[in-house]
Amino acid sequence: GESVGLHLPTLSVQEGDNSIINCAYSNSASDYFIWYKQESGKGPQFIIDIRSNMDKRQGQRVTVLLNKTVKHLSLQIAATQPGDSAVYFCAEINSSGGYNKLIFGAGTRLAVHP
């Protein structure tokens, strides 16, 4: 797949279990964060976002938690399925230069075992 070769931390879970993927961000002034999922052979795809005035946001089977005190994001996936196997990236908005751009974290590979 297209993300093979990346030297990433790997989270291995059993199908049906809950997954928690963590991310630390660098800029305490960042006010918007996104989680992306990159499946083999594809580019990153938007999963869920959260603004800095929120601590938690829920989507379909996914929840993002934001702890601004320690500059930490987490993505929780409920009842993990084989189709959730992918690399997951967090991203923060950086507004230097007069426009918004995404700064991506290193990524975590999620491996779901039957």
In the complex, the residues that contact other proteins under the rule CB under 8 A are 2-3, 5-8, 32, 34, 41-46, 49, 87, 89, 93, 97, 99-107
Shortest distance, position 101 Cβ to other proteins, whole Å? 6
Strand partners, 65: 56, 74
Between CA 68 and CA 16 the distance in angstroms is 30
Measured from the CB atom, the residue of 97 and 114 that comes closer to other proteins is 97
Measured from the CB atom, the residue of 77 and 90 that comes closer to other proteins is 90
Q: Are strands 10-14 and 108-113 parallel, antiparallel or unpaired?
A: parallel
Shortest distance, position 15 Cβ to other proteins, whole Å? 25
The number of residues in the chain equals 114
Shortest distance, position 2 Cβ to other proteins, whole Å? 5
DSSP 79-102: S--GGG-EEEEEEEEE-GGGS-EE
Measured from the CB atom, the residue of 2 and 17 that comes closer to other proteins is 2
Give the alpha-carbon dihedral of 75, 79, 80, 84, to 10 degrees. -80
Shortest distance, position 97 Cβ to other proteins, whole Å? 7
Measured from the CB atom, the residue of 17 and 31 that comes closer to other proteins is 31
